Chains A and B, each alone.
Chain A
């Protein structure tokens, strides 16, 4: 699979000698890299957290942590994978802290959508689309299975890229992705059948 995220850092590090100069150079480079990968970082945070406010908190917290740790970032590696790993770790820490995460019942996932769910508010309609059956089923997956599915199927990472983000072997990514997809297949079976018959 072609990796859509092959963006090794191509910005030279600042060659200033003073600490203030180095910090200013770091901030400028970090700003450029963060801007380049902001949308991807937000999407990953959104699909992990399951809602926009938590995603905003998560991505902001991760960006601050990434800037603090930026001196340790290896410029010969992929910034987006590094940033997504920080987001992932922040999310896992948050889940462990709170000891809870939003859960959806499988009955809710299987419930067919009705006209009463529709709305004329564009923002609400967008939210409605985002919280469709697939996303609700995705949120019902445990984080360790959800993360590879998000990275590979939603964000287009290669197995190798996902393994770098998740800091685990490629075989683990392949196994968890497969099990995640199998769980989604069961929960989304009515929608998949509709898709196959041409109604989806």
Chain B
């Protein structure tokens, strides 16, 4: 440390922002190096000048105006969200009202009997005694090794 000038760490030394070991090394160098002591003195003066710079204050009306603007912005957003949802719901309802009559209707032959016909076809293809959903889901799949007899049976 006494050989090379510790340039970057002088500010850290001034601000007590170095590790104890680094600070000790810089202190040892400063004890022997007059030019670094001069730089440190200059840095101290610069810091003193900067710390003495007057602290500007915002205009007293700036914060209340800002807060009012933020609150108004939030109200406007909430209003737009409410109206957006309302408009979306109304648009969906209008589309449904306009296009529902155009949707294809089930033929008279299938009307009311489709479910029972499908049920009958399914029980014929898959003769499971209980075709309710829980029972169906709990039945082993046909490709499962444990149900070969089921496959043969089918």
- Chain A positions within 8 Å of B, measured between CB atoms, are 1, 19-20, 23-24, 27, 30-31, 34-35, 38-39, 42-43, 46, 52, 55-56, 59-60, 63-64, 67, 126, 129-130, 132, 134-135, 138, 149, 152-154, 158-159, 174-175, 177-178, 181-182, 184-185, 188, 191-192, 195-196, 200
Q: A-side binding surface: helix, strand, loop or mixed?
A: helix
**Which single member of B53, B57, B71 contacts A39 (CB below 8 Å)?**
B57
Size of the B side of the interface (Cβ < 8 Å), in residues, is 39
> Is the Cβ of A174 less than 8 Å from the Cβ of B46?
no
CA of A196 to CA of B50 in the docked complex: distance in angstroms?
Answer: 15
**Which single member of B50, B57, B67 contacts A153 (CB below 8 Å)?**
B50
Cβ of B62 < 8 Å from any Cβ of A? yes
CA of A177 to CA of B7 in the docked complex: distance in angstroms?
Answer: 12
Q: Which 8 A-B pairs have the closest CB atoms?
A: A42-B58, A178-B11, A153-B50, A192-B45, A185-B42, A46-B56, A159-B17, A181-B46
Query: Chain A residues near B59 (CB, 8 Å)?
Result: 52, 56
CA of A29 to CA of B54 in the docked complex: distance in angstroms?
Answer: 30
Known: A130-B56, A196-B45. A35 touches B63 (CB 8 A): yes
Number of A-B contacts (CB under 8 A): 120
Known: A1-B15, A1-B17, A181-B43. A63 touches B70 (CB 8 A): yes
Query: Chain B residues near A192 (CB, 8 Å)?
Result: 42, 45-46, 49
